[in-house]
Amino acid sequence: MKYNVNDLYFAKCRLCIMDIINSYMEDGQVIEPRPDYVDYYTILYYHRGKFVNLYDFKRKYKDISQVTNPKANYDEDIILEISSLADYIREGQKRISRKECEFVENIITKTLSLDDYCHHNR
Tell me, what's the pLDDT at 28?
Answer: 76
Label residue 101 exposed, middle or buried (CB < 10 Å: 0-12, 13-18, 19+).
buried
Q: How many residues does the chain have?
A: 122
Tell me, what's the pLDDT at 8?
Answer: 96
| Helix (H), strand (E) at residue 103 | helix 98-111
Note whether 44 and 51 are within 8 A (CB): yes
Tell me, what's the pLDDT at 115?
Answer: 66
Per residue of the chain (122 residues), what is the pLDDT tens digit?
Answer: 899 999 999 999 988 877 766 667 778 777 666 777 888 999 999 999 999 999 998 888 988 887 777 666 667 789 999 999 999 888 888 999 999 999 999 889 888 888 655 554 43
